Amino acid sequence: MDFQLPEELQLLQSATREFAQTELKALARKMDRDEEFDTSVIAKMGALGLTGITIPEAFGGAGFFDNRMHNRAACVALEEVNRVCASTGVTLSVHMSLFSSLLNKYGNEEQKQRVFPKVANGAWLGAYCLSEAGSGTDAGSLVCEAVRKGDEYVLNGSKLWITSAPYADIFIVMARTSKEHKTRGVTAFLVEADRQGVKVGKKEKKMGIRGSATCEVLFENCRIPAANRIGEDGKGFGIALDTLDGGRIGIAAQAVGIARACLEDATAYAKQREQFGEAIINFQAVQWMLADMATRIDASRLLMYRAASLRDKGESCSKEAAMAKLFASETANKAAKDAVQIFGGNGYSKEYDVERYFRDARITEIYEGTSQVQRIVIARALSG
Ligand SMILES: Cc1cc2nc3c(=O)[nH]c(=O)nc-3n(C[C@H](O)[C@H](O)[C@H](O)COP(=O)(O)OP(=O)(O)OC[C@H]3O[C@@H](n4cnc5c(N)ncnc54)[C@H](O)[C@@H]3O)c2cc1C
């Protein structure tokens, strides 16, 4: 067993780290404050190859898929991006781990040739539409419907909580094609954002990841060619669940990145802040918070890479992905709480980034399956 990253991933790590420090650091606070995503970062991530990590080289991707290390590569990139900016992190995660991975696994050759070259280089941003007002954890109860009419489907309904909706160029939409079967009546579709009948609705005012736009997306008699159907009719729910296994590993990476930001900032602060004539890092109460943070972050990262390695090999990893997301997201929240504590009053001020980390960490326990859902997945695997 080798705990070192392969050389290609070490190179990706240092390039992404430098990108995050030079390009994202200054933007992260501004995006959070203004609640506005700076879309120029998408092209920059494209130029670096990040937007094509989960796409085969033949379609313009970065080559990690061809070497069966795309899930680990996504983890490497997402940890570094989220270390600095979780709003950019979720944008990249949805694009790579939900949109591109799904199309790569379940799309046909024509769809990949049509869409991937633009998605791989960041000219197009992908988004993923599963959730609805009445359908969250119970995703199989979705009602947005697609009715077949000749060579087309007509899409009607609305999706809620859609990450990147206002600046996404293309969506994967899960829609109901049969009312008779619940989960077996769901089908996946590619829907270009500029298609007639697609409208981006209300933007949510959020607690965290405020730089990333989260919106309602409405479909009103939106006609899409049958050629845009991904996989077979009625197979969309299984596709969505399988894709979420990969997505959860991406959210684990987001949580590890946020937790690492908490640890690094809190350690630096504790070394320079003095009380009672000495640096507060000399106080055992502070040391223990940092020691627990560091230990839980390493454990989270190991769980994350275990799940990603299994998925890279094409093996089932539902339980392992759930464990990684559950543990990493709870770690990020504990780390953020303790980082604010170590900063004292300053931790409560917007002058320092830990206040943002605290708000950003919260979402990792909610989207792509809440912590309750991850425990259900793990318990079901245990009970067979
Ligand atoms: C910022 C943000 C971005 C998002 N981005 C996207 C996106 O891009 N695309 C997309 O499709 N969706 C997206 N979502 C939706 C997200 O995946 C859902 O919010 C999440 O799955 C939870 O669903 P819900 O909000 O409807 O909560 P609910 O399902 O209503 O759950 C409420 C509570 O009940 C608990 N609960 C529900 N069922 C059970 C059960 N069986 N057993 C135990 N407890 C249960 C939950 O754990 C939770 O605590 C996003 C959400 C947010 C907040």
Give mean pLDDT, residues 72-92.
98
For ligand 1, say whether the CB of 108 is within 6 Å of any of its atoms.
Answer: no
The pLDDT assigned to 336 comes to: 98
Other beta carbons less than 10 A from residue 141's beta carbon? 14
- Ligand 1 proximity of 53 Cβ (cutoff 6 Å): no
What share of the chain in percent tops pLDDT 70?
Answer: 100
User: Residue 150 and residue 221: Cα distance in Å, rounded?
Assistant: 15
Q: What is the spatial distance between Cα 181 and Cα 183, in angstroms, rounded to a whole number? A: 6
The Å distance, Cα 223 to ligand 1 centre, comes to 28
Using the mean position of ligand 1's atoms as its centre, give its distance from the Cα of residue 367 in Å: 6
Question: What is the architecture of the domain spanning 245-383?
Answer: Up-down Bundle (1.20)
Q: Where in the chain is CATH 1.20.140.10?
A: 245-383
Give the separation between CA 345 and CA 347, rounded to whole angstroms: 5
How, if at all, do strands 214-225 and 152-163 pair? Answer: antiparallel
CA of 135 to the centre of ligand 1 (A): 8
Could you give the residue range(s) of every CATH 1.10.540.10 domain in the chain? 7-124
Q: Is the pLDDT of residue 1 over 90?
A: no
**Ligand 1: does its nearest atom lie under 6 Å from the Cβ of 130?**
yes
127 CA: nearest ligand 1 atom: 8
**Using CA positions, which residue lies closest to atom 44 of ligand 1?**
372
pLDDT in tens, 170-193: 999 999 999 999 999 999 999 999
Question: What is the reported pLDDT for 4?
Answer: 93
With the most atoms of ligand 1 within 8 angstroms of its CB, the residue from 96, 370, 371, 376 to mutate is: 370
As a whole number, mean pLDDT of residues 378-382 equals: 97
Query: Per-residue confidence at 29, pLDDT binned at 50, 70, 90?
Result: very high
CATH 2.40.110.10, the chain: domain bounds: 128-234
Using CA atoms, how far apart are residues 364 and 361, in angstroms rounded to an integer? Answer: 6
Ligand 1 and 370: CB distance under 6 A? yes
The pLDDT-based confidence of 305 (bands split at 50, 70, 90) is very high
128-234: CATH superfamily = Butyryl-CoA Dehydrogenase, subunit A, domain 2 (2.40.110.10)
Residue of 161, 205, 206, 374 best suited for mutating to test ligand 1, as the one with most atoms within 8 Å of CB = 161
pLDDT score, position 67: 93
- 3-state DSSP percent of the chain in helix, strand and coil, to 5: 60, 15, 25
What is the dotted CATH code of the domain comprising 7-124?
1.10.540.10
Atom of ligand 1 nearest to the CA of 206: 1
**Percentage of the chain lying above the pLDDT 90 cut:** 99
Active-site positions? 368
Closest residue by Cα to atom 16, ligand 1, is 367
pLDDT band at 2 (very low <50, low <70, confident <90, very high): confident
Looking at residue 384, what is its pLDDT?
Answer: 86
Ligand 1 site, residue 92, Cβ cutoff 6 A:
no
Mutate-to-test residue for ligand 1 from 88, 91, 131, highest number of ligand atoms within 8 A of CB? 131
Q: What is the pLDDT of residue 16?
A: 98
Beta strands in the chain (DSSP E): 126-129, 145-149, 152-163, 170-176, 186-192, 198-203, 214-225, 229-230, 274-275, 278-279
**Average pLDDT, whole number, for the chain?**
98
The pLDDT of residue 274 = 98
283 by DSSP, 3-state: which? Answer: coil
Binned at pLDDT 50, 70 and 90, residue 143 comes out as: very high
pLDDT one-digit tens code per residue, 335-367 = 999 999 999 999 999 999 999 999 999 999 999
Cβ(94) – ligand 1 distance below 6 Å = yes
pLDDT tens string 309-336: 999 999 999 999 999 999 999 999 999 9
207 lines ligand 1 (CB under 6 A): no
3-class SS string, 220-256: EEEEEEHHHEECCCCCHHHHHHHHHHHHHHHHHHHHH
Ligand 1 pocket residue status of 163, Cβ below 6 Å: yes
215 Cβ closer than 6 Å to some ligand 1 atom:
no
pLDDT confidence of 58, banded at 50, 70, 90?
very high
User: For residue 86, what pLDDT is reported?
Assistant: 98
